[in-house]
Amino acid sequence: MERGQPLSGVERGQPLSGEEPDVMRLLREGSLEVEGRLVDASNATLYCTAALGGVQVAAVYKPVRGERPLWDFPDGTLAGREVATYLVSEATGWDVVPPTVLREGPYGPGMCQLWVDVDESVDLGVLARSDHPDLRRMAVLDAVVNNADRKGGHLLPRPDGRVQGVDHGVCFSVEDKLRTLLWQWRGTPLGAEAIDVLSRLRAELEGPLGDALHELLTRREVRATVSRVDRLLAEGCYPHPSPDWPAIPWPPF
């Protein structure tokens, strides 16, 4: 089952007031009840409801114990990398990644993320090749976090026209592993908005954001993130694919 498609027979969580603190508290502290599994995911990915104080939302829970070992990322670190990507997304102010937390769940510690309903009429192949402003922002975020797996199926076209991204477990390598479908802006100027955001992000990496990332990543990985931001600011353009690494993930969707 693909992300964004409802599980049959599962009742949707009731929406909250829409205020971020309410959602974050519910994701962190709410009681998680597993309703089903997203069977197409490579790691254990469970569809849940998170309930607290008579209110509930739909969420995705990825327990650390369900992560498949990878040759190029340390075992048991994917959930933390998902949360680290959310923190960087929040620091940009672009809201690229849905609210995401680390917490205990029915199968131990793991990542818990707000479920996002999508507009299923959107053709992901067409969307991934488009000039949507949220995809431009996502391409910048991916360059910062060194996303090694930006597939078309990781794009969430929302009914309100916004686009968000999920599945950030293979990010923050110290080696250049950027692998994505979003190469349509390669080598073109970043633009004033991106430059301003990256400048603010660089400052925050020396402060609270950097402190938070050190709780989730190694020191080398945080330093590499700072270096990638510095490189983007110095070059002032979207990156080109690396000649030493496949440019597009497989499968691409």
- The 10s digit of each residue's pLDDT in 52-106 is 988 899 999 999 999 998 888 999 999 999 999 999 999 999 999 999 999 999 9
CA dist 6 → 2, 36, 117, 208, 249 (Å): 9, 10, 8, 37, 25
- pTM assigned to the model: 0.91
| Average pLDDT value for the chain | 90
Q: How far apart are CA 248 and CA 250, in angstroms?
A: 7
| DSSP letter assigned to residue 142 | H
Residue with structure tokens 């633009």?
191
At residue 117, the pLDDT reads 94
Domains of the chain plus CATH, in order, are 20-235 (1.10.510)
Backbone angles phi and psi of 55, in degrees to 5: -120, 145
* Beta-strand pair 108-114/100-105: antiparallel
At residue 7, the pLDDT reads 32
Amino acid found at 39? V
